[in-house]
Chain A
Amino acid sequence: MSSKGAGLNMRQIISKIIVYLMLGLGSIVVLLPLQWMISTSLKPLSHVFRFPPEFWPQKIVWSNYPDALSQLPFDLYFANTSFIVVLCLLGELIVSSIVAYAFSRLRWRGRNVLFIVVLATMMLPRQVTLIPEFIVFRHLGMIDTFWPLILPSWFGNPFYIFLLRQYFLTHSRELDQAAVIDGCSRFGVFWRITLPMSKPVLGAVAIFSFQFHWNDFFRPLIFLLDQDKYTLALGLRFFQGTFGTEWNSLMAVSLVVMLPLIVVFFFAQKHFIQGVVFTGYK
């Protein structure tokens, strides 16, 4: 009996080791591209095209960063992107949570039918509506302004409505009813009870929204023309077009563009993960 127990233990230890080995190896594979990015961004251009490539930079050139960033008005692109991202984020948070409240906490005729429409629009590829949308914004004289990028966020986003609704549904109705009996208005319940109770999911929506609009390339590409209005994504694309093979500069600028996301991720990791879990696992 004792030998069997020891055998099982041995097997468990071996399988543990295999699990750690696989996870460790996988982690290295996942992190290598980022290491490669940092390493390239610090090399002098002559070393970038050395064969065989240097894994660690033999000579570190910190000035790659200021040099590359001063080639284009990246501070302006940063300001433009931040402006768009903040306004989109506010719109999506405010409007989507109001809409989600009606879909989860109120009883009304038409609710289920309308919610199915919300779900259907989640599955709609946005490109189907893009051309008429472009034409409408053109008629409104809004091409080459930030409006086409910001305005749609203020009409609620089906994905976030779904996410917030799922979360609001987990609250008990009794609390709402008690507050109403105590003289709180329905909107008061939303504002004073539902929202404060939903900080994790609001955090998740804020992060998703930030992530999406920070990375977004397609819509800025279509709606913005003037270089002074470029976002970081467009600026980066322009930079690539101009300095196509200066990989050290390209990596430096790309890394700087990614950095805010990475920083936010490390500080708000919990919200990120919670949010993803809420969306996909239900």
Chain B
Amino acid sequence: MSLAQFAKKQSGFTRLNITYQRGETVLAWAMVSPWVAGFLLLTAFPMVASLALSFFEWNILTPPEYVGLANYHKLFFTDPLPMHSLKITVIFSLASIPLNIVFGLTIAMLLNTNIRGLSVFRTIYYLPAILSGVAVAILWQWIFSSDFGLLNTALRVFGIEGPAWLGSKIWVLPAFVIMRLWSVGGGMIIYLAGLQAIPTDLYEAAEIDGANWWQRIFRITLPMLSPTIFFQLITGVIFTMQIFTETFIMTDGGPANASLFYLLYLYRQAFQNFKMGYASALAWVFFIAILLLTLVLFATAKFWVFYEAESDEDN
């Protein structure tokens, strides 16, 4: 499925000949005008401006100086940190997003087995998903404390001496992945709703045909849920790549830049070193990287995402 098709599906295009009423069109434009103004002022103009700015050197205080492609040259060739931070951000995302999907799906499937106390379990699993930001980062910093932290205390119960987590170049990324797993309930809720919407007669028919549990999961459940999983994957990429607060609070990019996620580096360049031109180039490269990743996912979608026959509705 292409991006255009996806957008088309989401926007509910209709192929009917509609005669527009003038009054309605005027009212509609009036009603969307705040968003149009916001789009122009807060999205379109800043995007063009940051692209332009990326060819300048500017510290805000003195006039900007045109430097051509120098910022991009520095970014790709002389400064090793942008590509390093992009790499660890992608590695972190590639670990975190699939794990969140697998755990979220598993919990949702367990909850979807006609159990008692569904709402209690759902509340418990969902609770961490509403918490985020500085308070959660501080909590996890304490959990990962190597001597007195909860995680290593729990591991000691099983006779395992845990690593230094946030103090270890190797374990700092897994630590962030574990922390993000705590809020797996956000996706779980969505999968659960998806599961509950799968018609039961599909399963009944499969059972009559002699399909076993495994086949029912892979032939019915997962294909039926694939649009939901796909949506979670796309939003997951955008959300996960933008990790900032946790690393800012818990490690400040350390140890030895092992958790210097891309946005932390961008923040430092823009708002600590006031290299606005260089930071704009960084921002654009980040945008392109996310866009490419998203497009790759869209390209794979036709192999595994199943949409039911669309019905055109006239809105």
Contacts and interface: CB of A to CB of B under 8 A. Distances in A.
Interface of A: 16, 19-20, 22-23, 26-27, 30-34, 36-37, 40, 48-53, 55, 95, 98-99, 101-112, 114-121, 123-125, 127-136, 138, 152, 154-156, 158, 161-162, 169, 173, 186-187, 211, 214-218, 221-222, 233, 236-237, 240, 247, 250-251, 254-255, 257-258, 261-262, 265-266, 269, 272-273, 276-277, 279-282
A217 B50 contact: no
B138 A240 contact: yes
For chain B, give the interface size range: 35 or more
B234 A101 contact: no
A262 B127 CA distance: 8
B20 interface: yes
Contacts of B127: 30, 34, 262, 265
A20 B10 CA distance: 38
Interface in B62-115: 107, 110-111, 113, 115
Contacts of B156: 52
Given A125-B290, A265-B127, 11 more contacts: A37-B142, A40-B142, A50-B148, A99-B34, A107-B20, A109-B25, A119-B10, A123-B238, A128-B47, A217-B244, A254-B136
Nearest to B280: A131
B43 to A, nearest CB: 6
Contact of A129 (B47, B185, B234, B248): B47
Interface stretch (B116-124, B167-175, B202-210, B214-222): B116-124
A58 to B, nearest CB: 15
A95 B29 contact: no
Contact of A125 (B53, B140, B193, B242): B242
Given A40-B142, A125-B287, A280 B231 contact: yes
B304 interface: no
A128 B133 contact: no
A127 B190 CA distance: 27
A16 to B, nearest CB: 8
Interface of B: 7, 10-13, 18, 20-21, 23-25, 27-29, 31-32, 34-39, 41-43, 45-47, 49-50, 53, 60, 107, 110-111, 113, 115, 121-128, 130-136, 138-140, 142-143, 145, 147-150, 153-154, 156, 182, 185-187, 189-190, 193-194, 197, 228, 231-232, 234-235, 238, 241-242, 244-245, 248-249, 263, 266-267, 270-271, 276, 279-280, 283-284, 286-287, 290, 294, 315
A233 B20 CA distance: 48
B28 A111 contact: yes
Return the 8 tightest CB-CB contacts between A and B, nearest first: A155-B38, A215-B133, A280-B190, A129-B46, A132-B46, A132-B49, A102-B31, A156-B35
Nearest to A258: B135
Contacts of B21: 107
10 contacts: A55-B153, A102-B29, A107-B24, A117-B39, A131-B46, A133-B42, A152-B38, A215-B132, A254-B134, A273-B189
Contacts of B123: 266, 269
Contacts of B140: 33
Contacts of A221: 248
Nearest to B13: A112
